[in-house]
Structure 1
Amino acid sequence: MPQEYIDILGGLDSTHFANFRNLMRQGFRDVRKHAERIIMIVELMQKDSKLPCFTLGDLTSANLRDRFQLALSQSQCDEFVDKLILNSAGSAFTRLYDTFQYYSQGVL
């Protein structure tokens, strides 16, 4: 999450950032409700696929299942999403990617 997004929301302690966090939590909880359907679609798509996103074979859907964190309770899920948000806030990887885009595409 680029620092610019955080700034637009008014900083980490702002009402808008708190609203963003709540929406992210709710969105993650909602998508988890459909996790098995999503995983099943991926399993169907990965069978005999030559697409690079499926090169791990059966591990593709297993890794996807892990990302849904299905074993977590709702409060643990909310904590997980909060960690994701805070770890991504001002991430060095985001800055590196922005720098790459600037030098390769002239986009910042």
Structure 2
Amino acid sequence: MRAPRLLPVLGICLLPMLSGCIAKTAANVVTAPVRVTSKAVDMATTSQSEADEKRGRRMREYEEDLGKLERRYQKHMRQCDDGSDSACLKARNDYADIQQLRASAPY
């Protein structure tokens, strides 16, 4: 017999908690289109700092690639000076790669 009497009491106690949940859900539903739209706009646009970061990253990668090619070219040139014909050919190819990379410099 105690169980039926307890149900109305539990219902009264839970009712305020449910209304809070419903209000919160309603607020989320109402603001959802605004949040989705602002997220889409944010993803579609690039801020100046993001553009600067990307440009800096491209410049660093370019300089790293150029440095690797120049070191490889110098190594092959030393081997070419020592009399290696294949190293001379590799040095020529390295030099061509360096010139091609410099033509496509990001700045």
TM-score by length of 1: 0.32
Q: Give the number of the structure whose alpha-carbon radius of gyration is greater.
A: 2
Bigger relative CO (Cα 8 Å, ≥ 6 apart): 1
